[in-house]
Chain A
């Protein structure tokens, strides 16, 4: 692998994200807004909110990380930049991995940082946080990988935007289940359960296969 080209690609993505900071912040704002709506709908009972906080945070994180996926590759395809990315001297899988990694850095990482204040806002206590944050630290890259793969596969398809959540959400359900369950065991003070192990195993698997599938999607869309 050509590390110089890989880092140059990530640098380019971060520069683009910085320049279009409104788009980058949209996912984060959605996450926080969506999370703050639940107390209004469920009522202010602290015990109820505390009980539901892990689920709320995980669902909000899943939906927020879906938001920028639609434009992840399609913007590059439309203006012809995808050709140049594929000619950067990297195999398509690594091009996809660079894009996915940048998606995580600009969407997943901010969500991870905002999760702690949101959890406290929903009546969580500081010792609920480790299992929630650890779960999200494994889960948000997973969501980026699954989402990036789906975004590359529907690239160039008509109504790709509609197809995308239909593809990602079923794939993301195990992440949601184990992530929320991990945060739940944290609530009852039982430390880290096997759910974290499952998330780690998913991540290891997805890290290998998702960029490969995404790469062949990119190549097919380009030809």
Chain B
């Protein structure tokens, strides 16, 4: 594969990734493509390796075989981090700091405005409270604000709807749709249906590259299903 990105090549190209963690085969020969405006939902039983796949793509987990490229460049190097926004299953909010202060690092690195992200997620009134006073759903939204602040094309979301109420899930769906409409990509793990099948007006003619992982899709391999952009 050439090191240069051509306009027609998909942004994310995952090629035969195999991951062994703690002596256990977690991912075996996972391959897929993802292009601008597309989303990929990872579903499967607990321990199927969904979160591991996200951590691999974020460059946090080493791979034993295979490779992946982001925008034509080899993935998993620190310079790629600016293309990735990662939401782990932990909220990573310091209880003693306010939401504003918790998000200051991402805002400063990406040079983005905290207030706009907080407004999008209905968090403006809570922004100056210490996060230990927030409910689980509010904390989750606070953690999601980090995703917006990074202004990265690829979102990796590990159970983004955890603890959210229906209204917040609707907001989440809207935000995700808007991100894809702007050419962004989303890979999310979930156990409940995420509202990501809404029609996205800007991307009426999107090609689908995502496909089932190759190799033997045994019980330990997470199933991937792609959401058509339109």
Question: Which residues of A are at the interface with B, using a C-beta cutoff of 8 A?
Answer: 2, 4-5, 8-9, 11-12, 15-16, 19-20, 79-81, 83-84, 86-92, 222-223
Contact = CB atoms under 8 A, between A and B. Distances in A.
B100 to A, nearest CB: 11
Given A15-B101, A16-B97, A19-B97, A84 B84 contact: no
Interface string B58-74: 11111000000000000
A79 B92 contact: yes
Interface of B: 21, 55, 58-62, 78-79, 81-82, 84, 86, 88-94, 96-97, 101, 104-106, 108-109, 146
B82 to A, nearest CB: 5
A91 B88 CA distance: 20
B105 A83 contact: no
B160 to A, nearest CB: 14
Contact of A79 (B55, B78, B94): B94
B81 A88 contact: yes
Given A15-B101, A87-B81, A222-B60, A80 B108 contact: no
B68 to A, nearest CB: 16
Given A12-B105, A91-B78, A223 B92 contact: no
Contacts of A92: 78
Contacts of B93: 79
Contacts of B109: 2, 4-5, 8, 88-89
Contacts of B90: 79-80
Nearest to A20: B96
Contacts of A88: 81, 105, 109
B78 A83 contact: no
Nearest to B78: A91
A12 B59 CA distance: 23
A87 B62 CA distance: 14
B105 A9 contact: yes
B106 to A, nearest CB: 7
Contact of B21 (A8, A20, A223): A223
A200 B109 CA distance: 33
A9 B109 CA distance: 9
Nearest to B60: A222
A9 B106 CA distance: 10
Contacts of A84: 86, 92, 105-106, 146
A81 B109 CA distance: 15
A89 B94 contact: no
B96 A11 contact: no
The 4 A-B pairs at the shortest CB distance, nearest first, are namely A80-B90, A80-B92, A8-B108, A81-B92
B73 to A, nearest CB: 14
A212 B36 CA distance: 36
A222 B96 CA distance: 24
B108 A4 contact: yes
Contacts of A83: 55, 58, 60, 86, 88, 92
Contacts of A79: 90-94
A91 B76 CA distance: 11
B199 to A, nearest CB: 32
A80 B62 contact: no
B58 A87 contact: yes
